[in-house]
Chain A
Amino acid sequence: MARIVPTDDAPGATEANCIGYLEQQLQSALARFGDAYRSGLAGFQRAHPEFLKLDGVAQDRLLEGLGREPFFEMLVDHTMQGFYGSPEHGGNRDEASWKMMGIAKHMGGGHWHGA
């Protein structure tokens, strides 16, 4: 996730708690993806045991090599959901993505906060 939305001068997936989004939603609305994560993660670790020891650039290169591999596609999508979705769903902590895009004032939670 940290490579899908990396941290730079603005928060990335780590700071925005995308993993929290995924954990929360796998218990509820995304429960049907549970098996795909279990087998996908195991398969990935088997195929790329060195991954966590690589630096960011090398990790990106490895992930680019996966192309449209289904497990990675799923992870990209759920990371984007966690990063850009509403904080109420467990990710986008402190409205990190909305602040980055300069729209936090307008988006504000479940209600319209007024311009």
Chain B
Amino acid sequence: MALDPVDVVIVGAGGGGGIVAHELARAGWRVVLLERGRQQSFAETGHYELRSQRTTVLGNAFGPDDRRHVRVRQTDGGDWVKVLPSDGAYNNVAAVVGGGTLSYGAMAWRFLPKDFRMKSTYGAPLGSTLEDWPISYEELAPYYERAEWDLGVSGKSGSNPFEGPRGNDYPMPPLPFNREASLLAPAGRKIGLHPFPIPMAINSKPYMGRGACVQCPHCVGFRCEVDAKGSTAVTVIPRAIATGNCVLKTGCVVKEVLTDASGKASGVAYFDPQGKLVEQPARVVVVAASATETARLLLNSRSKVHPNGLGNRYGWVGRNLQGHAYSGAFGLFEQETWDGIGPAARVAACDYNHGNEGIVGGGMLANEFIRMPYLFARSVRPPGAPRWGKAHKDWQRKWYKRSMGIKGPVQEVPRWENRVEIDPAVKDYWGIPTLRISGAKHASDLKTGKFIAGKAAEWLRAAGALEVFESLPGRGVSGGQHQAGTARMAKDEQLGAVDTDCRVFGLENLYLADGSVHVTNGGFNPSLTIQALAYRTSVRILASGHVPKKG
């Protein structure tokens, strides 16, 4: 069944897709925004640790569900095994209106200027595909600002001496320091760091019709009870719908991007909530389904003109999968450091993002979000500590409120071998071939991780930690919620999957708006960069002439 044609169909109502929907709807385009998940209220998920975005032992709070979704993952031993969404190896991104932004911690980072010039800064290590972005920080800066004001970011301009030039200040002052940040900031300065309040897409005061953060201890992994997080689900998506030009359709699973005889995108085919295959013709198609699912969709959309899938003439689609090689340390303290005030992650330093001798890149360091009790019981223990029994219980009782973690999203060196591809046999509930994931971190990342963990430990010791233990990244390929890189941006079709407008090579009317286009992923949580690019891509789409100018 084919529906009436629209100006644009967008696949994925997450952090990137929601922005494109609003920008185009505002300009008068007729928009259909497709989302495989649902609209979810706070009451559905509440603040239940065991079924949240961080702890999925009782299932994924925000989808996708284990019943209908499956992927294949290569083990260290080389075997292919099926994995379900609630398993970390699946590399899940939430399937819900708002996508990852509905339950994220909402750190709202701009990448640093050098993050866009990794190859020219460091050279490409052997066995890597390290490259510069074809656009600069300066090119993206106005769109970062747009994202900060449109979604609502609280922060302190000028407080981070390492950041690139800014235009205007943040629209809101930072959230106040909690006890951890008050201890760590002066300790950091003592050892020569430059600590500053983390910029966050969390309201520090009422902003654009949403209330201020109530500083509850449940933040990352949960939907905000008062919608103080600037998720696209509570900002740009409702605004897009309010224009009257955007229709949000949930429970719709896109099977492929359709192309015509000339090779242009002509729309998408999707399964509606009743499982019926529907065609939505459109003049422009935007895919914003996350780095893994976007690559899967491009690879599953084969035709005579595009025999290897879309944008994949030179084989870049699905390659260079990256996330972050998280590294850090925990410290135990004499006094209580826990004050129950969320989001808890409040102080960061960018002293080790670059310029580390013998190291490629680095990462931002920040104190951690409040750790929930079960996660703490299972993961925060020194090596060799009892895993159960009286001693385990005593440890939990004694240290839960007297411990702090500092960690950093270590920027990874991309590898050609780290990839998603279409599994030759396994299909999901709808019969769509699923993807399989394989690869391992570059040795450089493990070295950087060790370095960053050491610096985190140093900071904790400066704050008076009695005991410190480090946590290092595993060897396996990253992805996770920070997944990126599977359709990298390049000046030339031979070097990537999309051009500098995030338009897929070989198709004049197909664009991407998620982390897949990132050449490298910065030493930061990537959401604001995905979003700044989505604003920029929207401008390019509007200027492309695919749809006559409205109004």
Contacts and interface: CB of A to CB of B under 8 A. Distances in A.
B400 A101 contact: yes
Interface residues of B, number: 35
Contacts of B58: 25, 29-30, 81, 89
A60 interface: yes
Contacts of A6: 389-390, 393
Given A85-B50, A112-B218, A102 B401 contact: yes
A109 B49 CA distance: 10
Given A6-B389, A81-B57, A84-B374, A111 B401 contact: no
25 contacts: A3-B389, A6-B389, A6-B390, A29-B57, A63-B389, A80-B374, A81-B50, A81-B57, A83-B377, A84-B49, A84-B372, A84-B374, A84-B376, A86-B48, A89-B48, A101-B373, A101-B396, A102-B401, A103-B400, A109-B46, A109-B47, A110-B46, A110-B47, A112-B47, A114-B214
Interface string B391-417: 011001100110000000000000000
B68 interface: no
B216 interface: yes
Contacts of B390: 6, 8
A77 B378 contact: yes
A115 interface: yes
Interface string B205-242: 00000000011111000000100000000000000000
Indicate the member of A12, A30, A89 with the most B CB atoms within 10 Å: A89
A109 B46 CA distance: 8
A114 to B, nearest CB: 7
Given A60-B389, A103-B400, A98 B47 contact: no
B340 A103 contact: yes
Contacts, number: 106
Contacts of B340: 103, 105-106, 115
Contacts of B50: 81, 85-86, 89
A50 interface: no
A109 B47 CA distance: 7
Interface of A: 3-6, 8, 10, 12, 25, 29-30, 60, 63, 76-77, 79-81, 83-86, 88-89, 97-98, 100-103, 105-107, 109-112, 114-115
A111 B374 contact: no
Contacts of B216: 106, 112
A8 B387 CA distance: 17
A11 to B, nearest CB: 10
Contact of B374 (A30, A81, A103): A81
Contacts of A5: 388, 392-393
Contact of B373 (A77, A98, A111): A98
A26 to B, nearest CB: 12
Contacts of A30: 57-58
Nearest to A72: B388
Given A29-B58, A88-B46, A103-B400, A12 B393 contact: yes
Given A29-B51, A86-B47, A89-B58, A111 B225 contact: yes
Given A25-B58, A83-B377, 11 more contacts: A6-B389, A85-B48, A85-B49, A101-B397, A103-B338, A103-B340, A106-B340, A107-B373, A110-B48, A111-B225, A112-B216
A105 B340 CA distance: 9
Nearest to B48: A86
Contacts of B388: 3-5, 63, 76, 79-80
